[in-house]
Chains A and B, each alone.
Chain A
C-alpha cells in the first residue's frame, strides 16, 4: 500500500512527548554491586535484620546465575557494575507531610506529564502513591483507606510498620532465586508499593502509583506486594512515563500478588517509558517479573496491560492457580514501533481443580520493531476440569517489522480443555478503503481500526486508564500505515 508514505513516516517519527529531565539533587550510591552495596541499601532504609539476610541470600544466588538468552530480543551486554543501585531525591531533613511540602520542582514534573496530583487524585477519587525514582514522595487518601483497614503505603514504610506481613509474604510468589532479574531485584530493590486488604473488605477506591525514572544511570528496582485476604477485593493501577535519555536504563521490577479465598485482585498497567529514538538509540530495558498466586479457592487475579514504551520489554505477568475454582486472566496490548523489541505474554499454571484462565493478547508492530507473544499454559495432573482459552492476534504495519507468536501448551490432565487461536495480518485494505470512501482521513481510519483491534483489552481497563491508553496508542502509532 503506498498511501502517503511520507506523511506516515512523519507521524511514526513523532518525538517522545514526555522527554525531559528534572534537576533535583540525588542522593545516590556510586555505580557498582557487591555485598557492601546490598548492605548499604538495607542500612539506608533502616531495614530489620531478616530483610538484610534475605537480600544477601538473593545476591549470593544471583552471582551464580547467568543472564537468560532465550527471549527473542537483542541488546548489548549490560554491565551490572556500571549501574548505581540506589538513588533517592534528596529531601529536606524532615520529610513532607502533605503535598504543600513536596518539592515544587517535583510537582512541576508531574504537571508536565499531565498528572495534576492533588487535583486529579481528588477528582478521580484515586489515591496516588507517586514513586519518583525509588522513594515514595507523596501519599494521598491514606486516611480514607485507613478507615477501611486497607494498608497502602510505600514498601519501606511497610517494612517499618508491618514487618510481620512483609516477612510472611515477601518472596512467596516470586522466590528470590526465581530468575536472574528477580534475584537481582531481591538483592537491591529500593522501594515500591505495598497493599494489604483485610478480610471481607472491598477497597473503597482504585489504587494507583505513577512510576518515573529520573537521575541518569540509575537502574530502578521496584518491588510491589499486594495481598488480598479472604473475601477482599482490590484494583491496582500502575502507570509509567520516563524522561528522554540516551543511555540505556535497566528496570527490573518484581510484582507479587497473593489472593486468598474468594479474594480478587485486578492489576492494570499502562507502560510508556522512553522507547529510544527513531534509530533505536537509548530507551529503557524493562525486564520485569510479575506473578500472582490464587492461593485460595474461588480467588481471581486479572492482569491488564498496555505496553507502548521501553526499548526492550521482557515481561510475563503470570497466574499460579492453586485454589479450587480460581480464575486467572491476562489482557494485553503491546505496541512496538521504530526499533522497539517486545517479548511479552503470560504463564497460566493450573494446579487446582476447575481452574479457569483467559488470555487475550494483541500485538502491534510498526517500523523495524519486533513484537513477540510468548505464553505458557500448563495443566498439572491434579487440575481436573481446568479450562483455558487463549487468543493472540498480531497486527503488522510496514514491511520491516516483525511479529512472532510462541505459545507453549503442556497438558497433563485429560479432563482439561485448552484452546489456542492466533492470527497475524496487516490492516485490511478493504477496511481502510471503506473508511476512506466515507470521508474519513487515512490517519483517523487507521486509528479507528487499531482501536477496534484493541477494544477487547481496553474495556478491561479502569475508566481513567482507558482514556490514557487510547491517547498513548495514538501517540505511538498514529498513521503508521505500511
Chain B
C-alpha cells in the first residue's frame, strides 16, 4: 500500500459515520482493494500517478484563508450578463445552501437531502464500479464531506455559475467536491462549473459531478479548468439521459499542472442526444488527460464529440474517446472528431478514438488527426502580406474556434477566448489583430 492510499484510509477511519455510510463503506473498501490506477490500467496509460501515490494527503478545510475577490465567480460571465452564482470552497457546500433561492432551481446540501429524502438521493449513487476511469470516484464517494444538490425545476434562461475554489493551508491536502444536478422532465438550464485556485497552495482536487436529465430536459454544461500551474485536478463527470433529453457539454482545460478529466455519458432512452466539446490546451509543462466514454444504451440515440487539442512547450495532451453501442441500440448515430496540433518539438499528443459496437444498424464514424499547422494555409496567408507570427496565431485561433462557436453563453465564450489567446504563442500579435 502506498503513502497516498494509507493517508486516504486514515482519513476514512477518522470520519464520523453518516446517513450514506453503507454506500461510502462499499466504495472505500473497493478503492482500497483496487488501489490507485497505474499506467497499466487502460485509461491511465499515459498518465503517471507515481509521484502522487508517494505523497500522503490530509483533508482540506472547507474554508478559505484570506478573502476571495467578490467578483471572481462572475469572471466568466463578466457581470454584464445576469447570472446566479454559488461558491464551493474545497468541495464544501456553502453554509447557507439550503436557504439559497435561485429562480428555477431547488437547492440543498447533500447532507440535508439525505436526511429529508434518503431514497431519492440514492439513485444518484450508481453501484460501485471496477472500471479504472471511475477509480477516483470511489474515493470521492467515500470521503466527500458535503456536496451540492441542484434540482432544475423549470426552463431557466439565466446561467448558474458554480465557482470551485481550491485553497490549501499547506501542501498535500485533498478535497473531494461533489455535485448532483437533477433536471426535471422538460426543464432547461445552463450551468457553468469554474475551477480556480486561491492562495499559495492548491489541494489535490478529486471532484465529481453527477447529472441526471429527465425526459426532454435540456442542459448546457461547462467545465472550465483554470487552476494554477502546480495544481492537480482529477475531475469526473457522469451524465444519465432519459428520453428526448439533450445535453451540450463543454470541457475547457486552460490551467492546472496535471488535469485528468473524465466524462461518462449514458444515453439510456431513445431520442437522447449528446454534444460534447473539448478544448485542451497544453501550455508550459502541463499534462492534460481527457477520457470520454459515451454509451448508447437505447435505440435512436445520437452523440457528437468534438475535441481540439493543442500542445506547446513541453506539455502533453491526451484525448481518449470511446463510443459503446450496446446490443439492441439500433439507429444509434455517433460521430467523433479529434484534431491535435503540436506547436513544439518537445510536446506530445496522444489520442485514442475508439468504437465498440454491438449492434448492426448503426452509423458510427470517427476521425482523428495530429499534425502541425497546414503549410498551405500558412503560405496562403503569407502570400497575402501577413507576417509569419500573425499568420500562425491566426491559424491556431481558427483551429480552436470550432469548439468556441458552439457556446451559447456569449460572455463565457469571450472570457474563455481571451484566456486561451493568453496561452498561445504570439498572443499579443493575435490580440492586436483582433
Contact = CB atoms under 8 A, between A and B. Distances in A.
Contacts of B366: 405, 420-423
Contacts of A283: none
Contact of A411 (B42, B327, B340): B340
Given A408-B350, A420-B369, A426 B361 contact: yes
Contacts of B344: 414
Contact of B369 (A70, A405, A419, A425): A419
Interface string B325-345: 001101000000000101111
B334 to A, nearest CB: 9
B352 A425 contact: no
Contact of B348 (A397, A406, A411): A411
B360 A416 contact: no
A411 B357 contact: no
B360 A396 contact: yes
B348 A407 contact: no
Contacts of A399: 327-328, 330, 359-361
A400 interface: yes
A394 B361 CA distance: 12
B385 interface: no
Contacts of A400: 327
A126 interface: no
B352 A416 contact: no
Contacts of B369: 417-420
Given A381-B345, A400-B327, A406 B354 contact: yes
Interface string B351-371: 111111111111111111111
A415 B372 contact: yes
Interface residues of A, number: 35
Contact of A424 (B342, B350, B351, B364): B364
A259 B192 CA distance: 56
A409 interface: yes
B291 interface: no
A404 B357 contact: yes
A386 B347 CA distance: 16
Contacts of A424: 355, 357, 362-365
A255 interface: no
B368 A419 contact: yes
A2 to B, nearest CB: 12
Nearest to A420: B368
Contacts of B327: 399-400, 402
A352 interface: no
Contact of B354 (A70, A404, A415, A426): A404
A401 B370 contact: no
A413 B345 contact: yes
Given A416-B370, A423-B365, A409 B354 contact: no
Contacts of B343: 414
Contacts of A413: 342, 345
Nearest to A395: B360
A402 B357 contact: yes
Interface residues of B, number: 36
B274 interface: no
B196 interface: no
A411 B315 CA distance: 12
B355 A422 contact: yes
B360 A482 contact: yes
B360 A407 contact: no
Contacts of B42: 70
Contacts of B355: 394, 403-405, 422, 424
B179 interface: no
B349 interface: yes
A417 B42 CA distance: 25
Contacts of A398: 360
A420 B346 CA distance: 22
Nearest to B318: A410
A412 interface: yes
A412 B348 contact: yes
Interface in B169-213: none
A417 B371 contact: yes
Nearest to B45: A408
Contacts of B357: 394, 396, 402-404, 424
A404 B362 CA distance: 13
Contact of A407 (B340, B346, B354, B365): B354
A404 B356 contact: yes
Contacts of A406: 352, 354
Contact of A410 (B348, B354, B367, B371): B348
A434 to B, nearest CB: 18
Contacts of A423: 364-366
Given A399-B359, A420-B367, A422-B366, A411 B352 contact: no
Contacts of A482: 360
A277 B347 CA distance: 50
A331 to B, nearest CB: 20
B342 A414 contact: yes
Nearest to B352: A408
Contacts of B328: 399
Contacts of B349: 409, 411
Nearest to A378: B350
Nearest to B358: A402
Nearest to B361: A426
A413 B291 CA distance: 23
A402 B360 CA distance: 8
A110 B431 CA distance: 75
B363 A420 contact: no
Nearest to A421: B367
A407 B359 CA distance: 20
Contacts of A425: 362-364
Nearest to A1: B361
A338 to B, nearest CB: 15
Nearest to A389: B369
Interface string A369-405: 0000000000001000000000000101111111111
Contacts of A403: 355, 357
Q: Give the one of B42, B345, B361, B370 with max A CB within 10 A.
A: B370
Contacts of A70: 42
Interface string A349-381: 000000000000000000000000000000001
B368 A409 contact: yes
Contacts of B348: 410-412
A411 B348 CA distance: 6
Nearest to A400: B327
Interface in B105-161: none
Nearest to A372: B356
Contacts of A381: 345-346
Contact of B342 (A404, A411, A419, A422): A411
Residue in B42, B359, B372 whose Cβ sees the most chain A Cβ within 10 Å:
B359
A399 B354 CA distance: 20
A409 B356 contact: no
Nearest to B349: A411
Contacts of B356: 402, 404
Given A397-B360, A420-B367, 10 more contacts: A381-B345, A403-B357, A406-B352, A409-B351, A411-B370, A416-B342, A418-B371, A420-B366, A425-B363, A426-B361
7 contacts: A70-B42, A399-B328, A401-B360, A404-B356, A407-B368, A426-B360, A426-B362
* Pairs of residues from A and B, 7 with the lowest C-beta to C-beta distance, nearest first: A414-B342, A396-B360, A417-B371, A405-B355, A420-B368, A424-B364, A411-B370
